[in-house]
Amino acid sequence: MIKFADVALMTHATFGMLCIIASVWVFVDTLNVSQGNLVRIKLMSRAVTGCMWLAFLIGGYWYVTYYYADKALILKGPWPFAHHLVMETKEHLVIMLLLLTTFLPIAASGDLVANKSARNVVLWVVGLIILTGILMEGSGAIIGMGVKLAVLPK
């Protein structure tokens, strides 16, 4: 039977991935901005924010409620750095990512067709979101591997 904690964790990772996909969409659309896709850029920017907030809140709930058990396993296993370095870094970098995604719809609210400066701000912000998002997904994989290696028979 699938536990609620596992569903929460998978949902967290899924919204994180959706956030990255939506960010790539915003990046490509902004590079090719026109009156035809301006509304879509603004809508997708909000989708980035929505997905990130959902990923953050679900992941945060899982972290404060269930992570202690995984942490204990990781620390006894062969990859203690999965907690000491990777999780500790991830839990704080993700707050920065949350703020970047919250800022994105504000940056995308201007006239991106006529205003090159506004376009550049959006491209840089969404670029940071994509890179940090991929870093977060990779960190999650390392943490998961830390647990897996800890429970594998030696």
The one segment of 20-28, 35-43, 123-131, 145-153 that binds another protein by CB under 8 A: 123-131
What's the rounded Cα separation, in Å, for the pair 38 and 91? 34
For another protein, what does the binding mask look like between residues 36 and 75, x meaning CB under 8 A?
Answer: --------------------x---x--xx-----------
- Looking at 13, 121, 136, 143, which residue binds another protein (CB under 8 A)? 121
- Looking at 4, 120, 138, 141, which residue binds another protein (CB under 8 A)? 120
Give burial (CB, 10 Å; 0-12/13-18/19+) of 82: buried
Shortest CA distance to 22 belongs to which of 5, 1, 42?
Answer: 42
- Looking at 7, 34, 81, 151, which residue binds another protein (CB under 8 A)? 81
Alpha helices per DSSP H over the chain: 4-31, 38-76, 81, 88-107, 116-151
What's the rounded Cα separation, in Å, for the pair 129 and 81? 25
- Looking at 84, 142, 144, 148, which residue binds another protein (CB under 8 A)? 84
Applying CB under 8 A, which residues contact another protein? 56, 60, 63-64, 81, 84-85, 88-89, 91-93, 95-96, 98-100, 102-103, 106-107, 109-110, 115, 117-118, 120-121, 124-125, 128, 132
